[in-house]
């Protein structure tokens, strides 16, 4: 099994290209199931989760051709011959549930295994199912599978999500494009990935209004066509690499970054004393002082501070001057990286959904283990500021969401290497 070795090596200087958003691409790919015509996605990230979604779509009869080294995905669902998404593929990734709405909307049937993914809490799919039921779907959960039918097609409906859910909003949005009549989704997620999906669906011929707000209105159409769509930049990768010079010192320009994608996060970085500025090519992040200041964080749905950047921000707070309180309000069990940071000399006290971090002047390199995707990269960031070697194992978590971490950080002066296991 591969491992990654990081040796603290002082300030970083250079530029890092930001890939297309994993979470956006994983919603865009199932959109191919809504149409018999081709869908082409550009700026696609080259990640193991994308390969998993490719395998899932191909198991349903879709064709997926990676072009230009995988940065372009050519998809076609002209001949869907299977409506069963099996456990062996779905268990690897929670986003697999996003094939449910499109298959049900287009063909009136779907059998989808309950999904797997990172072990960061229950993250149930009941909101997906309740939204589809509101549109007339007949659902039966048995033997670990969702058996869904809509013999007469889905019907427009008004549905209010009891809590904000990105995945459930995406599933309902895709299903609503082919439902008869008007669908109104209230308390919908507002994330950039939702906006990106709506823009792609509109290019395919969908009639959608309100994406990016809490109310999305969809007028169903009889059919969708093909389209070419660029995947939005990954705001979580962007925020992660913005933290690299904040932790190690120096100045790094994140190429393709946009302030509107990470406004709340950037404001919190500025609160620590780190400089963040928009450039013609992206975002430049610089740390010139010896230590950053501690800053409290509460994770919230977009446009608030992202839960997917909480672990990485904790790594920064481990070396901050003062004490920071990090409150996790999105997912339970999302402080599993804390014990690994403790191995590196951090001072962290976790009580339920709150972590209190008292900064130390220096972390120490140690053998550590990735527990989930975002935890894995938080430990790499911590290694940039640690004395000696940090050896990260179970890096398959990292490969689900970050492309070429070693080369991107290495190009800015980090001492980082992957060791094949």
Report the catalytic residues. 118
- Residue 372 annotated as lining a ligand binding site: no
The beta-carbon contacts of 200-206 under 8 Å, at least 24 apart in sequence, are: 200/28, 200/31, 200/39, 200/227, 200/229, 201/31, 201/34, 201/173, 201/174, 201/177, 203/227, 203/228, 203/229, 204/31, 204/34, 204/35, 204/39, 204/177, 206/177
- Residue 187 annotated as lining a ligand binding site: no
- Residue 127 annotated as lining a ligand binding site: yes
- Residue 330 annotated as lining a ligand binding site: yes
Place of tokens 């909101």: 127
- Residue 106 annotated as lining a ligand binding site: no
Place of tokens 């969809």: 218
- Residue 126 annotated as lining a ligand binding site: yes
Place of tokens 């994330």: 191
Give the whole-angstrom CA distance, residue 190 versus residue 110.
27
HSE-up (13 A, CA, CB side) for residue 43: 17
Give the whole-angstrom CA distance, residue 412 versus residue 133.
50
Cβ atoms of 6 and 393 within 8 Å: the answer is no
- Residue 124 annotated as lining a ligand binding site: yes
Place of tokens 């996605």: 41
Cis amide bond preceding 303, omega within 30 = yes
Give the whole-angstrom CA distance, residue 374 versus residue 399.
11
Cross-sheet strand order for the sheet of 12-17 = 12-17, 250-255, 282-287, 275-278
Cross-sheet strand order for the sheet of 145-149 = 84-85, 109-113, 145-149, 138-142
Give the three-state DSSP class for 226: coil
- Would you list which residues are annotated within the binding site? 22-23, 94, 123-127, 308, 330
- Would you list which residues are annotated within the binding site for phosphoenolpyruvate? 22-23
- Would you list which residues are annotated within the binding site for UDP-N-acetyl-alpha-D-glucosamine? 94, 123-127, 308, 330
């Amino acid at each position: 099994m591969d491992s990654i070795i990081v040796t603290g090596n002082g300030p970083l200087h250079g530029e890092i290209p930001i890939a297309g958003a994993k979470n956006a691409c994983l919603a865009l790919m199932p959109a191919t199931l809504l149409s018999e015509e081709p869908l082409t996605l550009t700026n696609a990230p080259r990640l193991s989760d994308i390969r998993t979604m490719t395998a899932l779509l191909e198991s349903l009869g879709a064709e997926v051709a990676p072009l230009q080294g995988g940065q372009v995905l050519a998809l076609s669902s002209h001949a869907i011959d299977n409506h069963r998404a099996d456990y062996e593929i779905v268990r690897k990734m929670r986003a697999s549930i996003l094939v449910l709405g499109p298959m049900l909307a287009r063909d009136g049937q779907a059998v989808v295994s309950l999904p797997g993914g990172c072990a960061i809490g229950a993250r149930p799919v009941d909101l997906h199912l309740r939204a589809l039921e509101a549109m007339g779907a007949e659902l039966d959960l048995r033997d670990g599978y969702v058996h869904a039918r809509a013999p007469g097609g889905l019907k427009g409906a008004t549905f209010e999500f009891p809590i904000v859910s990105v995945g459930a909003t995406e599933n309902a949005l895709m299903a609503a494009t082919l439902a008869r009549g008007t669908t109104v989704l209230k308390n919908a997620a507002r994330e950039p990935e939702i906006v990106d999906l709506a823009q792609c669906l509109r290019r395919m011929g969908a009639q959608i209004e309100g994406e990016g707000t809490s109310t999305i209105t969809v007028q169903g159409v009889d059919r969708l066509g093909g389209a070419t769509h660029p995947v939005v930049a990954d705001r979580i990768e962007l925020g992660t690499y913005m933290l690299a010079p904040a932790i190690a010192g120096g100045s790094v320009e994140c190429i393709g970054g946009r302030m509107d994608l990470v406004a709340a996060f950037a404001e919190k970085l500025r609160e620590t004393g780190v400089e963040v500025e928009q450039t013609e090519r992206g975002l430049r992040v610089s740390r010139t002082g010896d230590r950053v200041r501690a800053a409290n964080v509460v994770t919230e749905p977009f446009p608030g501070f992202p839960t997917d950047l909480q672990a990485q921000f904790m790594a920064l707070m481990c070396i901050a001057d003062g004490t920071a309180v990090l409150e996790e309000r999105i997912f339970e069990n999302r402080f599993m990286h804390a014990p690994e940071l403790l191995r590196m000399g951090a001072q962290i006290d976790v009580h339920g959904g709150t972590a209190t971090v008292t900064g130390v002047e220096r972390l120490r390199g140690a053998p550590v283990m990735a527990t989930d995707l975002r935890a894995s990269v938080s430990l790499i960031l911590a290694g940039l500021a640690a004395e000696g070697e940090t050896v990260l194992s179970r890096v398959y978590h990292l490969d689900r969401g970050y492309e070429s971490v070693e080369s991107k950080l290495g190009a800015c002066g980090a001492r980082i290497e992957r060791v094949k296991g």
